[in-house]
Structure 1
């Protein structure tokens, strides 16, 4: 009787999965799958990271506050999307969790759009399920930033390029060009995707028909038109993102660059191991036939293979040549091509029971992760991330309260540790503008203090302490103090971390009747010097 009670729900699940697979070509199976994925993932991350968001997400909103053609650190696409998102959704943690997962769901939809060109039915589902066995569309996607925004842009651009190469029509050629420009507006690393397109166009056996058509010229023209406003912005702003890139990523010694290149390759391979092994298990009785299929790829898949090979090999060559670093996260958005090629090459049907088993495993792992999210939240309450992200919201709200109590006017500018500064910009009711941190400027520029300025760092950070001390010495009316931020979750008191703060009141207030209301009390109440 006990076995029947256990097996009955499993049989019901398997029956439901079979019906879901049957409706892939004729129904809404894939859209329902993607909507469920987005909703459950957003819920799980909202609970797991209940204390606050990653610095990159806060930065994306800060970038998008001004709808401009550039930002001193990154191209503008992630900011544009965040800006448009907050025109519809509220400025809350849960809405940005939803944005991150909608971006991941859109990326999977784009991959499925490509998959439809080569396969039908179960194989489309297998590709999406295998991709969810990588951390890319969950844990990488959760940190909405200039890297994760490429999850959707790269497959859409690849789809347009494939259609342009095969059909050579003006419409698809223009779409490919504009999508390449959009990819560059997301992250300059996308130049390697474009190199992949160029290499594939020249190396493919059918290259003559494409290269002698008008399609490549239309793509080039549309790409240049799409990127031109950003190039103009770069010229008007001293190419600031390139200065940041050189300062942050260039000038590594040769041995370090070689290690980075090797780690880049190994990490990307490691991310593919679990799905590739799972696929091998599914096809265990057809491995030889699968091998023969891979040697005889159809034209479209061979084109995608060339795109992937060129796009992943060129950055490895570059990092060694110019002496830069190469984080593996920069190429995660291109890994879908490997799974697409491996499954698309199959000229035989995958046994239905194997697809059902894969769906059961992926669904079980996903649901376990969602159900475990409260446990993760409790763990982080007592053992916070080393980055300090769990303390961002508390520190930002404490500074906002201290500023209002001291000066009674909105805080205009905030700087210091990037994560804490972006958090203050996001969580403070005043939404002060971010100023570049101590890592990039000895002192804030002239005029920064006029309307009021403040900064936060984690206590004990030597460079920031020295930076704050220099400001306190040179700027009249400066106030420095430290205060603790203690985590609390569902009535459980958690870890504590000290925050160092500095405030410079608006230039009109010090010594005037409308000056600080209770500046001395702020330091006393918050453990000031």
Structure 2
């Protein structure tokens, strides 16, 4: 039987953001995580254009509106601020996604450090999230769901300090972060229900609820969200109309999404479960004297973790609205901790060593695997069907410059070409999705007449052609072209397009 770790023997592992480690050590770990993830995202995604949700964040972020037709604005604001500083490139987007994940991982580490006292168990709990795709693979798609990867762990941290420790400053921060979460997606109301149940299940939490502090947090939330709430009243609450359009889907689709989301979330923690079972059954080291967290803390963590999962799945059935596991990845950062807690008094030292080794191997695999994955993707049948989004944007910009002396200001077209053209075009024009003014409140017919419009219509898309015709003038030019996506010496399928150029009206 091996003795407990001495102060000297624990040094190497303790440097993984344990309480006695320095800020510099923690910062170095987060920087290393960000660098590795940025490299993996950028290299592995080189053969394909950016995902639609990401360029949508960029297109919306250009406008800095108080709201948008589908979602509240905060995540788009962040994207807009990011690209006001960094160049508009795929690498910058990879860095944004990795930074978003690193901020959330940092918050999870801090919260875990406050919950767990045993050094080895704390180290394991902090490393386990890196064995899930929560902070890695799924983090690349920066959108209204993945923004919670960074926001929600810090919201939980300040909620814990506010409700369990009655820290008044934490109450203010909790209110601020709740407001920012609400400004990102209304879905946050489901995870916040878990906070309410966690407070009710704790004596400290019930005392907090009876104090003035929750009212102070509510006041901060209202203050933060009031501009958006005002915007809703002035714009027919278009995000709520969008939510309504997602109701009453066919039962076959709802049940399919329900089970895919359920088993998808289970699959995301399968590695964590496997590590726990293998180590606990095979390790011969001394058992831990206590489980990682107390029974009261277990109830707290269980409520804030399982409530959004249960409510998400329940609302999917009750409202017949589609659900995906991606919706929940940002609000369950403590799920690996609950799995660790379920192992009871598993030998902590072998568990910590195994987890850290797997994280190190996984990090190395990301670096080595990125170029391999990049090389493999163009050889797949799916890649051969990849639409030439970037090529369409560049060609449309070139044609506009050849036929119009004025700069390119507005672009529309078939979905999702509009927002992709906004990102990939060197002119970075304003997005005008579907030629529909309700989708782009920053566009008016007067602005279209003043600056003109480039429409990128995929052949057969009658909606796009009809929309372009509404803004056409006698000077409108229509240019049919066939384009394919290229990466290196690989060429995908050819697609037929019509580039519709409506020049500015002559004053």
What range is the shorter-chain TM-score in?
0.7 to 0.9
| Separation of aligned partners in 1, 2:381 and 2:10 | 42
Residues 129-158 of structure 1: CA distance to partner in whole angstroms, max 9, x if unpaired? Answer: 322222222221111111111101111111
Q: Name the counterpart of 1:478.
A: 476
Q: Name the counterpart of 1:237.
A: 235
Distance of aligned partners of 1:399 and 1:474 in 2 relative to their CA distance in 1, 3 Å threshold: closer
Aligned runs of 1:193-232 on 2, under 5 Å?
A: 193-232=191-230
Q: Name the counterpart of 2:408.
A: 411
Q: Name the counterpart of 2:35.
A: 39
Shift of 1:174: 1.7
| Separation of aligned partners in 1, 2:330 and 2:351 | 27
Residue 149 of structure 1: which of 147, 150, 157 is its match? 147
3-state DSSP class of the match of 2:132?
A: coil
| Separation of aligned partners in 2, 1:239 and 1:64 | 19
Greater displacement, 342-351 / 23-32: 342-351
Q: Name the counterpart of 1:132.
A: 130
Aligned runs of 1:406-485 on 2, under 5 Å?
A: 406-437=403-434, 446-447=445-446, 449-450=448-449, 451-459=451-459, 462=460, 464-468=461-465, 471-472=468-469, 475-476=472-473, 477-485=475-483
3-state DSSP class of the match of 1:250?
A: coil
Greater displacement, 203-212 / 415-424: 203-212
Residue 64 of structure 2: which of 54, 62, 67 is its match? 67
Q: Name the counterpart of 1:380.
A: 377
Shift of 1:44: 1.9
Shift of 1:166: 1.1
Residues 48-82 of structure 1: CA distance to partner in whole angstroms, max 9, x if unpaired? Answer: 11243222221111111122321122211111111
Residue 315 of structure 2: which of 303, 315, 318 is its match? 318
Question: TM-score scaled by structure 2?
Answer: 0.86
Contact 1:417 1:457 in 2 (8 A): yes
Distance of aligned partners of 1:434 and 1:212 in 2 relative to their CA distance in 1, 3 Å threshold: same
Greater displacement, 478-487 / 141-150: 478-487
Q: Name the counterpart of 2:77.
A: 80
3-state DSSP class of the match of 1:494?
A: strand
| Separation of aligned partners in 2, 1:113 and 1:348 | 23
Distance of aligned partners of 1:90 and 1:408 in 2 relative to their CA distance in 1, 3 Å threshold: same
Distance of aligned partners of 1:473 and 1:428 in 2 relative to their CA distance in 1, 3 Å threshold: closer
Contact 1:486 1:497 in 2 (8 A): yes
Contact 1:123 1:350 in 2 (8 A): no
Unaligned runs of 5+ in 2: 1-8
Shift of 1:169: 3.2
Contact 1:168 1:213 in 2 (8 A): no
Shift of 1:245: 2.2
Across the two proteins, how many residue pairs are aligned to each other?
A: 488
Shift of 1:472: 4.2
| Separation of aligned partners in 2, 1:324 and 1:290 | 45
- CA RMSD of superposed structures (Å): 3.2
Shift of 1:357: 3.0
Residues 175-197 of structure 1: CA distance to partner in whole angstroms, max 9, x if unpaired? Answer: 11121111111111111111111
Q: Name the counterpart of 1:192.
A: 190
Residue 357 of structure 2: which of 357, 360, 377 is its match? 360
Q: Name the counterpart of 2:5.
A: none
Greater displacement, 190-199 / 333-342: 333-342
Greater displacement, 161-170 / 83-92: 83-92
Residue 268 of structure 1: which of 244, 259, 265 is its match? 265
Distance of aligned partners of 1:471 and 1:79 in 2 relative to their CA distance in 1, 3 Å threshold: closer
Distance of aligned partners of 1:83 and 1:440 in 2 relative to their CA distance in 1, 3 Å threshold: closer
| Separation of aligned partners in 1, 2:113 and 2:260 | 33
3-state DSSP class of the match of 1:107?
A: helix
Residues 362-411 of structure 1: CA distance to partner in whole angstroms, max 9, x if unpaired? Answer: 32233223223223223333547569777322221111001111112212
Contact 2:145 2:327 in 1 (8 A): yes
Q: Name the counterpart of 1:48.
A: 44
3-state DSSP class of the match of 1:252?
A: coil
Distance of aligned partners of 1:244 and 1:501 in 2 relative to their CA distance in 1, 3 Å threshold: farther
Shift of 1:286: 7.6
Distance of aligned partners of 1:382 and 1:309 in 2 relative to their CA distance in 1, 3 Å threshold: closer
| Separation of aligned partners in 2, 1:394 and 1:291 | 62
3-state DSSP class of the match of 2:85?
A: coil
Distance of aligned partners of 1:129 and 1:79 in 2 relative to their CA distance in 1, 3 Å threshold: same
Distance of aligned partners of 1:405 and 1:381 in 2 relative to their CA distance in 1, 3 Å threshold: farther
| Separation of aligned partners in 1, 2:416 and 2:120 | 44
Shift of 1:457: 4.2
Q: Name the counterpart of 1:21.
A: 13
Shift of 1:263: 2.9
Greater displacement, 101-110 / 89-98: 89-98
Greater displacement, 218-227 / 435-444: 435-444
Contact 1:442 1:467 in 2 (8 A): no
Contact 1:382 1:495 in 2 (8 A): no
| Separation of aligned partners in 2, 1:289 and 1:458 | 64
| Separation of aligned partners in 2, 1:149 and 1:301 | 26
Contact 1:97 1:142 in 2 (8 A): yes
Shift of 1:40: 1.4
